[in-house]
Chain A
């Protein structure tokens, strides 16, 4: 119990510190006191630049981190598999491809981008489920199937982009992830859908807890296992898809963050889901901030940093299985 409270307090404090650090560091630098006094006044030109360019980027990073991490928790619960992550098993790349494909063909439907991304993610999730169901969702089998699905959608996206060069499609931000040049309209998309998704995820915590039971046992106490799985998976896909729409594909967050979170606050989803959201927000904001400051003026995308840390981490988890 004490460990839980300490973890919450420490991660919250770190998040606040990182937010302030991130806001004041970069090509425009500001002192802390200068920053706080400028925050509440109009007309400071440096502050206006930060407000327009840096705040959207930070808020997108925070929401994308929270959404992807919670999406990981939900997927791990639904698939009863500690290795599930929207990026690794192809849900994100499915969302990215379908979104790109439909918007390229029907550009006037751009306002429905989140819906198409959701459809793509849901389709990829369905494929992973269907193809690994026979092996009782065994962790390794599921990862193998997921990697294949991911490769397929990533390949399709890349083919479509090289093919679409003549169609004047610029889509580089969808393949990898780059948080530069985010705008307040990006913020409004991810803040709206992200908040809805995170609230829904929390509302499902007791179902996630019940899914630790084997299916037959869960059914015997009158639990609608299939229905619960479907709804939880849908929320997970929503969270992953909305991150893809605004921040591009970032893998491994949904793997790394829940794993650390379980170590710190335990397996009860009532505590785990909010904590994962906080920790995920912290990690992606930190990754993005470091990415744009350590080799400035060049930038390392957050997704690249996550892959560098996440790859070895997945190997570590696989060896433990």
Chain B
């Protein structure tokens, strides 16, 4: 995926994305990080075609994103948003089944294939036992997994996640990131996500895009770009980095 000189402005005064160009490598986990309001979610929404850029181009497989039909694009890229309303009286299985929409046309659908995809999505997200439960009865961590399962049922090559761990406690955060990791390693999905936690970003990403004020400050493998100076510049935080045999690289913030 590639974007070139993207400018996004919601009010025509300030640019939420200011001349951003980058490319996302296939088969990798790419994480976008940066302080609040830096444009990281906006960048993700441009990549997932939910925001149309004011100028610039975004393309997938050398085709401009606007050229894709909605269902065609949904077969290429799925996205899980940070917060979702919980519909009433809907079983997990039915909700996950919505993810099959891009594979259906008005007159035909392959039910066998749909069933397989739904089963797979439920198995991967460890929700098979609860498939007939109502969504309302689930915990926050389980609900987040249900939305991921719906996205997986699309069977796209790219999966985007907008701050998937934000409202979860630490157990579910780890569970979720491990799920993302296995989706990438075992099933070859390209992952693009926005995270808040820098240590989680270091640990679970192949590539990091670091943003501030609508611009990309640094991008590359975590070890190459996340340094004391960059953290100071982007977040205004003094930090130290330690190398640990088990943990790898990790960051502690000292103060502001």
Contacts and interface: CB of A to CB of B under 8 A. Distances in A.
Interface of A: 210, 212-214, 216-217, 219-224, 262, 266-268
Contact of A222 (B74, B147, B150): B74
B154 A221 contact: yes
Given A213-B87, A267-B88, A267-B89, A221 B81 contact: no
Contacts, number: 55
A222 B154 CA distance: 10
Nearest to B69: A222
Given A210-B101, A214-B85, 4 more contacts: A214-B84, A221-B99, A222-B70, A262-B89
5 contacts: A212-B90, A213-B87, A221-B99, A222-B70, A266-B89
Given A212-B90, A267-B90, A220 B101 contact: no
B167 interface: no
Contacts of A216: 50, 81
Contacts of B89: 262, 266-268
B84 A219 contact: no
B50 A220 contact: yes
Interface of B: 48, 50, 69-75, 78-79, 81, 84-85, 87-90, 94, 98-99, 101-102, 147, 150-151, 154
Contacts of A210: 98, 101
Contacts of A219: 50, 70
B168 to A, nearest CB: 18
Contacts of B88: 212, 267
Contact of B98 (A213, A262, A266): A213
A266 B90 CA distance: 9
A217 B70 contact: no
Contacts of A212: 85, 87-88, 90
B102 to A, nearest CB: 4
A268 B97 CA distance: 14
Contacts of B101: 210, 221-223
A224 to B, nearest CB: 6
Nearest to B99: A221
Nearest to B87: A212
Nearest to A266: B89
Nearest to B103: A222
B79 A220 contact: yes
A121 B78 CA distance: 38
A217 B84 contact: yes
A221 B50 contact: no
Contacts of B87: 212-213, 267
Nearest to A227: B70
Contacts of B154: 221
Contacts of A224: 70
Contacts of A222: 69-75, 101-102
Contacts of B72: 222
Nearest to A80: B85
A212 B150 CA distance: 14
A264 to B, nearest CB: 12
B38 to A, nearest CB: 20
A-B interface, 6 closest residue pairs, ranked by CB to CB distance from nearest: A222-B74, A222-B71, A212-B87, A267-B89, A222-B102, A222-B70
Contacts of B90: 212, 267
A221 B147 CA distance: 12
A219 B101 CA distance: 11
Contacts of B94: 268
B134 to A, nearest CB: 10
A68 B147 CA distance: 35
A159 B32 CA distance: 62
Contacts of A214: 81, 84-85
A4 to B, nearest CB: 12
A68 B172 CA distance: 46
Nearest to B86: A212
A67 to B, nearest CB: 25
A217 B81 contact: yes
Contacts of B79: 220
A319 B81 CA distance: 31
Which residue among B73, B90, B151, B154 has the maximum number of chain A CB atoms within 10 Å of its CB? Answer: B90
Contacts of A223: 70, 101
Contact of B74 (A220, A266, A267, A268): A220
Contacts of B81: 214, 216-217, 220
A282 B90 CA distance: 28
